[in-house]
Structure 1
Amino acid sequence: MKKTTQLFAGLLMLTGVLSACSPAGNEGFMRRVETDFRHKQELLPRDDLFGIFDEPMTRQEREAMMFLYAYMPVGDMTDYPGDFYLENVRSALATRREMPWGDIVSDELFRHFVLPVRVNNENLDDSRRVFHDQLAPRVEGLPMYDAILEVNHWCHEKANYQPSDARTSSPLATVRTAHGRCGEESTLLVAALRSVGIPARQVYTPRWAHTDDNHAWVEAWADGRWHFLGACEPEPVLDLGWFNAPASRGMLMHTKVFGYYDGPEEVMKTTANYTEINVISNYAACAPLTVTVTDTAGSPVEGATVEFKLYNYAEFFTVSRKTTDGRGQASLSAGLGDMLVTAVRDGRFGIRKVSFGREPQATVALDHAIGDEFSFPVDIVSPAESANLPEVTAAQRAENDRRFNREDSIRNAYIATFPAQPAVDSFARAIGVKPGQIARFITASRGNHGEIMDFLREASRKGCTGRALQLLATLSEKDLRDTPSAVLADHLYNTDKDADAATVLAPRAANEMLTAYRSFLQREIPAADAAAFRRDPQHLAAWCRDSLTLRPELCTVSTTISPEGVWRSRTADKPSRKIFFVAAARSLGIPAWIDPVTGNLFYRHAGKDVPVDFESANDRQLETGRLKLRYEPIPRLDDPEYFRHFTLSRFDGQSFALLNYPDFEPWSARFDTPTDLETGYYMLATGSRLADGSVLANVSFLNIGPNRTTETDLPMRDNSEAVRVIGSFNSESKFIDARTGRETSVLLTAGRGYFVVGLVGVGQEPTDHALKDIAAKAAELEQWGRSIILLFPDETAYAKYAASPAASLPQTVTFGIDRDGSVRRQILDAMHLPGNVPLPVFIVGDTFNRVVFESHGYTIGLGDRFLHTIHQL
């Protein structure tokens, strides 16, 4: 009580100081912050989460700390000490005084885009201080614009792109790993820019409109405006990246601004933690659209949930969720293309296509009941390309290329310090195992190899090597790259040696950052409760239901609260509660897990898998039925794939939640025969992506009843006149440049966009004929301007070709050697071709990994066929 009284007294004194010394706008803002701060404190009374405010601070420090605590998600309060935030606040304020642009960065920009520690849903770390010490000397004397470019060059020294799972590594972990996906690279760059006082924010297109996947990059503020740049992909100037053209075809770009924000951009959503703003107008032509939801009588419906859905990965992915106002309306601005809109209220829903830029108003009637079975086709058109490219001189490009190559060499020199095979072999002998047992763990751990090797070394010393390897086998590659040995040791040495590895020993429950929760929970859970939970895990479910307060409104940035944080605060959201249940159960030796497909929670007791229902006092009974999908093949698609051609989503009471079956699993592997599904109401989406980005889609609604089989069609639409996406090819595939002898990749050779890859033979009539056909269209193919990469199986084959080369091939041809056959295998697998397929084999693909053309063996008029495809792209 005494601490609370002191805290409120301090806040009242702060308000007085603000009234006397701050501009009226800032004073009004801080009054709102104070109100939100006090409300947060009332909601979270446990565990002295606000104790840091008893420490002495300056007025600026206290104001900044109050702002952070008013809006940070619960997990940030429970999982990181107050001293961590105070140190970051002091560093940010000191940097603002130190940097020459500190005076021109407004309080609003500093507060929202420099001060916050969190960028996305990453694990927080000490990167602000570490990055500042390295970057401050490099940006000294530079104008703000050039400083942004310089920081990005530094980031390129530290990391380059590598796809990975959705969990976001911390900035320091990304540097230690030396690579990251776009979300991690952009988190790194934002953290680096903020470390030297430059306002920065991460921008996401939640999904592309014209192709599958998404992307993240960075906006940085300089000299009065926001500029964009590709993280860890330095260009000579700002507002330039490989994604200028794709972004011009985007339908939505957004950023989450820490705290309550009232800037000039369109606000999409305001939560207790952040303000989501729409920045699509920075990149593409766009238009607003207002949806009016009505009942069957035509009257507006207030409080309906409206979801704007973009087709991507064969799913209609929700890019914005809104609630209708008193007029039954919800609005969004988006790029000039098509989306699907659903509206749900009180057991009824409506669905229709909307076209931004062509219809400013659209009405969605709640004319379907949940459970209605129907199907309809829908044609989805993506926005047209309208890229705006800034001017770059030849000198600027040459200097940037020089620096780019040097930065690659710096990063590669660091990567060369990771353990190579001889070091792995030596370490394996030292701990008494075969190299093959540990090589994949050491290799995948990259810059975290010291932690993994320390863990294995100690396990060997304690006679637990086999068990340690079982634990490591449950982890993702990202876990290996950023988990400390102490966390792994906590789980290894506090788990019964005979417990199941997957459901008890494994530290991971979902996609959370791993922590040393096991010894903590074993220590904190009272012995009597632990015994009751073991006798009947339903008591643990009841404890979670009765003892934990759900505060989903305070956990809205895709972060989770650690199991330790949930225990200390007795606060969670639904994902954190599931993770806590799994952590607590496993800590007590109870097998528990979250189903990766459905998200359902289970424990095993008395030999049975029991689903958990926190809303019920009794064991939940999971009713199931079966689904069989009938498929009639269309040309070039004998076996549709999940996430590429079709998806299933189950209605959860508010919206349709996607089932996460394995990526690109064939239809024949699961749905050609009846497969078990939880009973309920489902949406089946299918789509054929055409080369111009448009989609021939179909949406079906069906019911899965208990103990019966539902059979329905899997409709894949086709347009024989259009170029369709027929497969996937990894544009980062590597080969040897035949002329330089150096390893390169398709992406590095072709740059972003379309390309041709050909597997060719030597002295074979089909290859000779194909090359002549290409030579006959050399001028047109050169005018197209994209790379044609011709790959030979080995150096001998290329030397034989070079002795009598085909004349007049386009100047855009690059000759390469597929020395290990990896490119050949990938093309044959993607195109479902046999291993003995006759050469040559050609594909037309792009750097979004789409294949739109394939040819193999003897073909007449190959050059014309290329051009026919190219002209439709």
Structure 2
Amino acid sequence: MLLLSGIVLTAGAQANYQRDYRERVMTQKLPLPLDARSLDKRHDVAAALEFLYAYMVLPDLTDHSRAFYAREVSTTLRARREMPWGRNVPEREWRHFVLPLRVNNERLDSFRSARYEELKARVAGLTMAEAVLAVNHWCHEYVTYKPSDARTSSPLASMRTATGRCGEESTFTVAALRAVGIPARQVYTPRWAHTDDNHAWVEAWVDGKWHFLGACEPEPVLDLGWFNAPASRGMLMHTKAFGRYAGPEDRMKSTACYTEINVTDNYAETARTVAQVVDEAGHPVADADLRFTLYNYAEFYSVYRGRTDAQGRASITAGLGDLVAWAAKDGRYGFQKFSVGRDSVVTVVLRHRQGDRVQADLNIVPPKGRNNLPYVSPEAAAQNEKRKAHEDSIRHAYVAAFPDSVATADFCRKEGYDYAVVRPLVEKSRGNSAALFRLLRDFKHCDVVAVLKSLSEKDLADFDYDILADHLRAGRVPKQVDAFAAAYIYSPRIAYEPLSPWRSVLQRSFSQKQQEAFRRNPLELARWIAANVKVDNTWNPLYQSHNPENALRLRTTDSYSRQRLFVAAARSLGIAAGIDPVTEKMRYALSPDAWVEVDFDQLKQTPPAAGEATAPTQLRLTYTPREYLLDPAYYTHFSLSALQNGAPVLQNYDGTWKELFETPRTIAAGDYLLVSGTRMADGSVLAHLEIFPVEKGRTTEIPLTMRQDSTQVQVIGNFNAENLYLDPISGQTKSLLSTTGRGYYVVGLVRPNHEPTNHILHDLSALKGDLEAWGRPLLLLFQSEEDWMRFQKNRAEYVHLPATLHFGIDHQKQVADDLRLSGLMNCDDLPLVVIADTFNRVVFRSQGYTIGLGEQIKTIVGKINSPQ
């Protein structure tokens, strides 16, 4: 019966994708490239390509050839034949979680065909579960964690740089698992509930069941990672299945290209809440824009967005914590906090409108979480650590081969470059230094250095020589370029899209007469694009970056890519243009200090002439500094969103209150939402919302409110300050007290080359000045001398640690045992950080993954007086 059901399901699924393929491609529902209709003649390859072409996003259709997909599909089919588990993977899991090349928003590459043989050899003779663990070890051999920008590197690029953030590590690991025919998917929590930030990891299908693992963070067994405990406190974890997926998971959303599924109950206790949206008379509001939001990074971030049904309802299944439902329609809006698990229904009334003043205090409580770890024997754990250390040595040897200062100096001497300018570029290029040296050598006649300096660190590590060469040639870069022109005319970098050779193509796309007209008035270029390039978000629902040259060729793209097309076209004609980093709207420059915002929907309006005097529209936030919070930071303590049609749109500022809003700051007129919050030691948040209008030509003053609750800081346990540890510098055994002296101090148990520990070190570096001003010692302890030595190999990555930070080794386990006996360490999850004093009182504890720990320490110590 089960086998028969599988056959029926497979036949139904095949009919679906074949119908979708014919409807999309053969009937030319979209103006697709011709080679999408000319499939491989081999039946199995053709069938697989039909499935991919039926659902792939528009940029993937135009930015890669049929030959590219056919080659990668052929490798996938080969893996299905050659892997011992190939015949056991059901058709549904194979089509949705093995066949697709795309994992996230990375640039697609030929990783699958390029690395199949190597991975095949690595998993030879293993069971499916063993193969998953082995592939993760292989991934760790090549890539380790390092934070970076929002653009996701391709798998091959991550290998070349040897680093990646969690989204890149998980993309890389999913690609590696799929390469050997193992169904895999990237699981993503959009935002944690108990701490700032987000995370991504991997699920792999093994013998009929999905299991999870930390990408490039191999453990001895499946379903084990540093994020077990944080995930149990998560509000929402989800993944996207390529195409029309009909699996057993809770389906959140279906689009033309993917199905979004909810996997939260794989990790945490969940419940369902129904949101009922009504008007002020109590009538249901259908087709309202409804967002379920979570406090994180000082905003109420939308973890799920949908529209209400005919009865004005929408629902979410989530972890047992607090969310805020925000609904809007036709300029009216409302919001309501609710607790999942306690509130099965929450009513949101659209009681607010443009110009309203609204204030609200919200206490946000995250889920409690649980500890449910699979057993790992001490022998297995030790063997895994030994294996990881060997993999670290392989990766370190690869990185050690990157050009050093001597090689860079020799190059600069031969080619006539300033070493002080070129060396930082070489360091950032990592495994891409050969392309960098070639570019510098071939384009000495122009200011290639200025253009390179306009790129991101990630760009330097993975740019393609031919793409940058196209921009340098077509741009006719002069011998000397100022930083403004380099960034906004000659640079190929617009936002966070993959770089492409758009400059020469766009220049050839317009007649000389058109080019002259566009240069005289860049709004004419915007009008031409608005009239000739159609917006289609249906076939790119996640706004995947569409190469500007292909968007223009197709005359169809999504709304965000059309903005980038305007910027690219303007730059190709020598017009300074970019995307506003705060509002994310396109703009062009009359001069470095005079920008004109461009809106495709308002092109009939005439912008103010350069130098035209108008009364400024400004916002000032008033704040009275407190001893422990002198200067609130954007994203950490507060954020500002513009209300557009009643829905908040975050403004992407970077800085602190003093830098941004202590004095009046020019912003656009309209309604705004100011969110501020104080995160407590248990992960809860004291939040404040302020909604207000900013009138054109006036300065608006709004108080920045940082709520307090002194009762949150209290003695939570005891810890012996006389515990001993090993000082690795002196080789002596010391007491904690001998290092900390009398008073408060911070002590932590950490692991080397471990993402949560890395986050803590970066957080402490960011608050170097504040922690040094506090003057109290911080002591981080490794569990063994081997761990200390592993950390030392990467110590150079942390050059800005506070001078008050010390390192040691808990060689006799006195610290760990004491914390465990006192109930402060309830599992082996690290890092574990406490604030204590030499009267053996503990006032703060944080165990496991935490973002912003430095800020939490800064807040806590600001409220306590060190005893003398």
Q: Deviations over 1:591-632 (max 9, x none)?
A: 111111111211234895322121234345489611011112
In structure 2, C-alpha distance between the alignment counterparts of 1:270 and 1:809, rounded to whole Å: 52
The code of the aligned residue for 2:558 comes to D
- Per-residue deviation, 1:348: 0.8
In structure 1, C-alpha distance between the alignment counterparts of 2:216 and 2:727, rounded to whole Å: 25
Relative to structure 1, is the Cα distance of residues 606 and 122 closer, same or farther in structure 2, using a 3 angstrom cutoff? Answer: closer
Q: Which residue of 2 aligns with 1:529?
A: 514
Match of 2:471 among 469, 474, 491: 491
In structure 2, C-alpha distance between the alignment counterparts of 1:136 and 1:217, rounded to whole Å: 23
* Identical residues among aligned pairs (%): 44
The code of the aligned residue for 1:117 comes to L
The answer on whether the counterparts of 1:121 and 1:558 sit within 8 Å (CA) in structure 2 is: no
In structure 1, C-alpha distance between the alignment counterparts of 2:324 and 2:162, rounded to whole Å: 39
Scaled by the length of structure 2, what TM-score is found? 0.83
Match of 2:56 among 66, 72, 81: 72
The answer on whether the counterparts of 2:332 and 2:646 sit within 8 Å (CA) in structure 1 is: no
In structure 1, C-alpha distance between the alignment counterparts of 2:71 and 2:26, rounded to whole Å: 25
Is 2:582 the counterpart of 1:582? Answer: no
1:92-241 to structure 2, matched below 5 A, reads 92-241=76-225
In structure 1, C-alpha distance between the alignment counterparts of 2:9 and 2:151, rounded to whole Å: 38
The answer on whether the counterparts of 1:290 and 1:362 sit within 8 Å (CA) in structure 2 is: yes
Q: Which residue of 1 aligns with 2:283?
A: 299
1:494-533 to structure 2, matched below 5 A, reads 494-497=474-477, 500-533=485-518
Secondary structure of the structure 1 residue equivalent to 2:602: coil
Relative to structure 1, is the Cα distance of residues 348 and 484 closer, same or farther in structure 2, using a 3 angstrom cutoff? Answer: same
The answer on whether the counterparts of 1:47 and 1:568 sit within 8 Å (CA) in structure 2 is: no
| Greater shift in the superposed pair: 598-607 or 376-385 | 598-607
In structure 1, C-alpha distance between the alignment counterparts of 2:817 and 2:436, rounded to whole Å: 45
In structure 2, C-alpha distance between the alignment counterparts of 1:491 and 1:646, rounded to whole Å: 39
The answer on whether the counterparts of 2:329 and 2:645 sit within 8 Å (CA) in structure 1 is: no
The answer for unaligned runs of 5 or more in structure 1 is 1-20, 725-734, 760-768, 815-830, 832-841, 863-873
Q: Which residue of 2 aligns with 1:684?
A: 674
The code of the aligned residue for 1:673 comes to T
Is 2:333 the counterpart of 1:349? Answer: yes
Is 2:399 the counterpart of 1:415? Answer: yes
Secondary structure of the structure 2 residue equivalent to 1:637: coil
In structure 1, C-alpha distance between the alignment counterparts of 2:764 and 2:502, rounded to whole Å: 53
Q: Which residue of 2 aligns with 1:18?
A: none
Q: Which residue of 1 aligns with 2:718?
A: none
The code of the aligned residue for 2:570 comes to A
In structure 2, C-alpha distance between the alignment counterparts of 1:509 and 1:192, rounded to whole Å: 30
The answer on whether the counterparts of 2:543 and 2:561 sit within 8 Å (CA) in structure 1 is: no
- Per-residue deviation, 1:88: 1.4
Relative to structure 1, is the Cα distance of residues 643 and 860 closer, same or farther in structure 2, using a 3 angstrom cutoff? Answer: closer
In structure 1, C-alpha distance between the alignment counterparts of 2:865 and 2:6, rounded to whole Å: 76
The answer on whether the counterparts of 1:305 and 1:654 sit within 8 Å (CA) in structure 2 is: no
In structure 2, C-alpha distance between the alignment counterparts of 1:429 and 1:450, rounded to whole Å: 17
Q: Which residue of 1 aligns with 2:460?
A: 480
Scaled by the length of structure 1, what TM-score is found? 0.82
In structure 2, C-alpha distance between the alignment counterparts of 1:261 and 1:809, rounded to whole Å: 50
The code of the aligned residue for 2:456 comes to S
In structure 1, C-alpha distance between the alignment counterparts of 2:458 and 2:727, rounded to whole Å: 29
- Per-residue deviation, 1:531: 2.6
Q: Which residue of 1 aligns with 2:742?
A: none
Is 2:557 the counterpart of 1:566? Answer: no
In structure 1, C-alpha distance between the alignment counterparts of 2:61 and 2:137, rounded to whole Å: 33
The answer on whether the counterparts of 1:634 and 1:718 sit within 8 Å (CA) in structure 2 is: no
- Superposed CA RMSD in Å reads 3.5
In structure 1, C-alpha distance between the alignment counterparts of 2:173 and 2:521, rounded to whole Å: 49
In structure 1, C-alpha distance between the alignment counterparts of 2:206 and 2:273, rounded to whole Å: 32
Match of 1:468 among 448, 452, 455: 448
The code of the aligned residue for 1:349 comes to Y
- Per-residue deviation, 1:55: 4.3
Match of 1:393 among 360, 377, 386: 377
The answer on whether the counterparts of 2:190 and 2:236 sit within 8 Å (CA) in structure 1 is: yes
Match of 2:649 among 653, 657, 666: 657
Is 2:38 the counterpart of 1:54? Answer: yes
Is 2:685 the counterpart of 1:695? Answer: yes
The answer on whether the counterparts of 1:44 and 1:569 sit within 8 Å (CA) in structure 2 is: no
Match of 2:233 among 239, 242, 249: 249
Secondary structure of the structure 2 residue equivalent to 1:201: strand
In structure 2, C-alpha distance between the alignment counterparts of 1:208 and 1:22, rounded to whole Å: 37
In structure 1, C-alpha distance between the alignment counterparts of 2:59 and 2:817, rounded to whole Å: 54
1:624-773 to structure 2, matched below 5 A, reads 625-653=617-645, 655-662=647-654, 665-723=655-713, 737-738=728-729, 747-748=750-751
In structure 1, C-alpha distance between the alignment counterparts of 2:228 and 2:263, rounded to whole Å: 14
| Greater shift in the superposed pair: 595-604 or 139-148 | 595-604
Q: Deviations over 1:108-134 (max 9, x none)?
A: 000000000100000000000122111
The answer on whether the counterparts of 2:353 and 2:646 sit within 8 Å (CA) in structure 1 is: no
- Per-residue deviation, 1:41: 3.1
Relative to structure 1, is the Cα distance of residues 299 and 52 closer, same or farther in structure 2, using a 3 angstrom cutoff? Answer: closer
Q: Deviations over 1:49-102 (max 9, x none)?
A: 142432442332222111111111100011111111111111111110111101
Relative to structure 1, is the Cα distance of residues 415 and 56 closer, same or farther in structure 2, using a 3 angstrom cutoff? Answer: closer
Relative to structure 1, is the Cα distance of residues 424 and 361 closer, same or farther in structure 2, using a 3 angstrom cutoff? Answer: same
Secondary structure of the structure 1 residue equivalent to 2:712: coil
- Per-residue deviation, 1:196: 0.2
Q: Which residue of 2 aligns with 1:264?
A: 248
Relative to structure 1, is the Cα distance of residues 606 and 647 closer, same or farther in structure 2, using a 3 angstrom cutoff? Answer: closer
- Per-residue deviation, 1:553: 1.3
Q: Which residue of 2 aligns with 1:438?
A: 422
The code of the aligned residue for 1:535 comes to R
In structure 2, C-alpha distance between the alignment counterparts of 1:43 and 1:569, rounded to whole Å: 17
Relative to structure 1, is the Cα distance of residues 618 and 740 closer, same or farther in structure 2, using a 3 angstrom cutoff? Answer: farther
In structure 2, C-alpha distance between the alignment counterparts of 1:556 and 1:444, rounded to whole Å: 33
Is 2:836 the counterpart of 1:850? Answer: no
Q: Which residue of 1 aligns with 2:829?
A: none
- Per-residue deviation, 1:758: 12
Q: Which residue of 2 aligns with 1:616?
A: 602
Secondary structure of the structure 1 residue equivalent to 2:201: strand
Q: Which residue of 1 aligns with 2:823?
A: none
The answer on whether the counterparts of 1:613 and 1:620 sit within 8 Å (CA) in structure 2 is: no
The answer on whether the counterparts of 1:628 and 1:675 sit within 8 Å (CA) in structure 2 is: yes
Q: Which residue of 1 aligns with 2:577?
A: 592
Q: Deviations over 1:525-554 (max 9, x none)?
A: 233322322232222101111111101111
The answer on whether the counterparts of 1:120 and 1:557 sit within 8 Å (CA) in structure 2 is: no
Secondary structure of the structure 2 residue equivalent to 1:681: strand
In structure 2, C-alpha distance between the alignment counterparts of 1:319 and 1:275, rounded to whole Å: 16
In structure 2, C-alpha distance between the alignment counterparts of 1:681 and 1:209, rounded to whole Å: 27
Q: Deviations over 1:451-508 (max 9, x none)?
A: 1111001112xx22xx101001110000001111221111122224457212101111
The answer on whether the counterparts of 1:758 and 1:843 sit within 8 Å (CA) in structure 2 is: no
The code of the aligned residue for 1:470 comes to A
* Paired positions, count: 766
Secondary structure of the structure 1 residue equivalent to 2:705: coil
Match of 1:332 among 312, 316, 319: 316
The code of the aligned residue for 1:188 comes to F
Secondary structure of the structure 2 residue equivalent to 1:103: helix
In structure 2, C-alpha distance between the alignment counterparts of 1:603 and 1:755, rounded to whole Å: 40
Secondary structure of the structure 2 residue equivalent to 1:88: helix
In structure 2, C-alpha distance between the alignment counterparts of 1:320 and 1:399, rounded to whole Å: 41
The code of the aligned residue for 1:109 comes to E
In structure 2, C-alpha distance between the alignment counterparts of 1:61 and 1:22, rounded to whole Å: 22
Q: Which residue of 1 aligns with 2:722?
A: none
The answer on whether the counterparts of 1:610 and 1:620 sit within 8 Å (CA) in structure 2 is: no
The answer on whether the counterparts of 1:538 and 1:619 sit within 8 Å (CA) in structure 2 is: no
In structure 1, C-alpha distance between the alignment counterparts of 2:607 and 2:515, rounded to whole Å: 25
